[in-house]
């Protein structure tokens, strides 16, 4: 191609963009508009001195636990190399093997695999389990990582109504055996999965079931082993996944299930093959956190008391919230402008929750999520209840 031809091509591109470029530009403009709206809703004022923060997922208040901090420090001081490579090359690491075996025993599973995040656990597992011929029956409220896994696998999503066994049953009868995907506890609303019903449907229709226990492990069940363990159903759930960025206060994920399939997962799931492994000091932190979570039952008891206190106070103040036992409480504003008013009213009273809007929630179903933790003082919870009562009035929801 001559210089003139290259110049002509460049000028032609600038003066008359091809349809594909137009499509990209259009998507960018749509994204920019959506980003601006989401940024307006989610980002409020900056927490100041004395702020009450109920926005995170550190349910058991372990983020700065001295045993975890010491485990990290010891590992960094005593380890002279690290695992800056793909996970397929680190299967020989004793520290990782010990942690995976401990997590499998903790969850009551045959095996467990450590992943880089809860997202990669869900995304990678569905890639391994499903293909274009597999119907994946997914709760409409399920985490985005489960939906991404369906997309990555090229499978067909068959969404069913949130927490609705009848809807799920009808779909499985129509489309046949496949994979059922749901959350144990839903991250924005705190709804708890009707797991017994879902397992009955899975077994009746010949389906596997994948349960994301990210917001249940550490919080529910014996020693915090999760919802499936709490209900005595661990051996009837095909696969469980866990994000370690909640009760385990780190950055990683777990897939628990049959050992033979999980060995296949290690060498086939794309996040496992093409992303670097979890670092040794992070594994040390997870091991220390597991020990604390198993032993400190008082943290779960305290969390339950604090959650109940907050929930009952909000119900008395007129908030139509779910009357369950999860530490996640959703104050639903609905329309985004209503949630903005609610957020501003709370933050003016030094109370900070997590604001969710589309695409994290359905459109016009935005909310402020409050998350209790084991060590928040009761006096703070009373201040939160009073602030929420005022915010309900100021947002026009009373």
DSSP 236-257: G-SEEEEETTSTT-SS-EEEEE
Higher-confidence residue of 92 and 376: namely 376
- Give me the number of domains the chain comprises: 2
How many other CB atoms are there within 10 angstroms of residue 164's CB atom?
14
Strands, E assignment, the chain: 52-53, 111-115, 135-139, 156-160, 179-183, 208-212, 239-243, 253-257, 328-334, 351-352, 354-356, 366-371
Are 195 and 316 within one domain?
no
- Quick check: 384 and 54 in contact, CB under 8 A? yes
Please provide the average confidence, as pLDDT, over all residues in the chain.
Answer: 90
263 in a structural domain: yes
User: Which residue(s) pair with 158 in the sheet?
Assistant: 137
pLDDT in tens, 181-226: 999 999 999 999 999 999 999 999 999 999 999 999 999 999 999 9
Are 284 and 302 within one domain?
no
Are 97 and 147 within one domain?
yes
Are 207 and 111 within one domain?
yes
pLDDT in tens, 323-352: 888 999 999 999 999 999 999 999 999 999
Domain end: 248, 270, 295, which one? 295
Average of per-residue pLDDT across 131-156: 97
**How many alpha carbons lie under 13 Å from residue 272 in its C-beta half-sphere?**
26
**Which residues, 6+ apart, have CB-to-CB distance to 307 below 8 Å?**
325, 326, 327, 329, 372
- Give the pLDDT confidence score for residue 80 in this predicted structure: 75
Are 196 and 260 within one domain?
yes
Higher-confidence residue of 91 and 343: namely 343
- Quick check: 239 and 264 in contact, CB under 8 A? no
Q: Which of 83-87, 177-181, 185-189 has the lowest mean pLDDT?
A: 83-87
Average of per-residue pLDDT across 164-178: 98
Are 214 and 249 within one domain?
yes
- Give the pLDDT confidence score for residue 4 in this predicted structure: 37
Higher-confidence residue of 30 and 300: namely 300
Domain end: 295, 312, 347, which one? 295
Are 82 and 203 within one domain?
yes
Are 285 and 366 within one domain?
no
Are 286 and 314 within one domain?
no
127 in a structural domain: yes
Question: What whole-number distance in Å separates Cα of residue 253 and Cα of residue 114?
Answer: 6
Are 116 and 138 within one domain?
yes
Domain end: 247, 275, 295, which one? 295
Tokens coding 177: 């055996």
Average of per-residue pLDDT across 72-77: 95
pLDDT classification of 12: cutoffs 50, 70, 90: very low
> With 90 as the cut, is the pLDDT of residue 89 above it?
no
Against a cut of 0.75, is the pTM above it? yes
Share of the chain above pLDDT 90, in %: 79
Are 79 and 139 within one domain?
yes
Average of per-residue pLDDT across 62-76: 97
* Cα angle 194, 260, 200; round to 5: 20
> With 60 as the cut, is the pLDDT of residue 6 above it?
no
Average of per-residue pLDDT across 265-278: 93
Q: In which domain, by residue range, is 278 found?
A: 66-295
DSSP code of residue 154: T
- Give the pLDDT confidence score for residue 88 in this predicted structure: 79
Are 257 and 340 within one domain?
no
């Amino acid at each position: 191609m001559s210089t003139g031809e290259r110049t002509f091509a460049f000028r032609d591109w600038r003066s008359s963009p091809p349809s594909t470029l137009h499509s990209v530009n259009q998507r960018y403009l749509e994204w920019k508009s959506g980003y601006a709206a989401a940024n307006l809703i989610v980002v409020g004022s900056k927490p100041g001195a004395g702020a009450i923060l109920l926005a995170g997922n550190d349910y058991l208040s372990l983020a700065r636990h001295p045993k975890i901090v010491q485990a990290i420090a010891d590992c960094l001081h005593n380890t002279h190399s690290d695992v800056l490579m793909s996970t397929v090359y680190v299967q020989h690491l004793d520290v990782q093997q010990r942690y995976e075996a401990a997590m499998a025993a903790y969850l009551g599973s045959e095996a467990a695999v450590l992943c880089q995040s809860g997202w990669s656990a869900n995304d990678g597992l569905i890639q391994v389990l499903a293909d274009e011929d597999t119907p994946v029956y997914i709760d409409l409220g399920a985490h985005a990582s489960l939906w991404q896994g369906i997309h990555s696998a090229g499978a067909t999503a068959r969404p069913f109504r949130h927490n609705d066994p009848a809807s799920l049953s009808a779909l499985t009868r129509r489309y046949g055996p496949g994979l059922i995907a749901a959350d144990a506890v839903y991250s924005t609303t705190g709804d708890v999965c009707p797991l017994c019903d879902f397992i009955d449907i899975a077994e009746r229709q010949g389906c596997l079931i994948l349960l994301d226990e990210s917001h249940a492990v550490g919080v529910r069940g014996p020693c915090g082993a999760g919802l499936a363990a709490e209900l005595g159903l661990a051996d009837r759930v095909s696969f469980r996944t866990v994000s370690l960025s909640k009760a385990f206060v780190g950055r990683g994920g777990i897939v628990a299930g049959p050992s033979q399939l999980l060995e296949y997962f290690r060498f086939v799931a794309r996040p496992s093959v093409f992303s670097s492994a979890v670092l040794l000091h992070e594994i040390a932190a997870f091991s220390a956190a597991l020990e604390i979570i198993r032993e400190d039952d008082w943290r779960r008891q305290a969390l339950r008391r604090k959650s109940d206190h907050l929930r009952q106070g909000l119900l008395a103040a007129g908030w139509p919230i779910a009357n369950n036992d999860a530490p996640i409480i959703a104050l639903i504003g609905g329309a985004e402008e209503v949630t903005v008013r609610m957020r501003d009213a709370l933050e003016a009273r030094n109370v900070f929750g997590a604001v969710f809007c589309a695409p994290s929630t359905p459109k016009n179903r935005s909310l402020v999520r409050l998350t209790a933790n084991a060590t928040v003082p009761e006096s703070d919870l009373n201040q939160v209840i009073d602030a929420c009562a005022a915010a309900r009035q100021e947002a026009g929801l009373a």
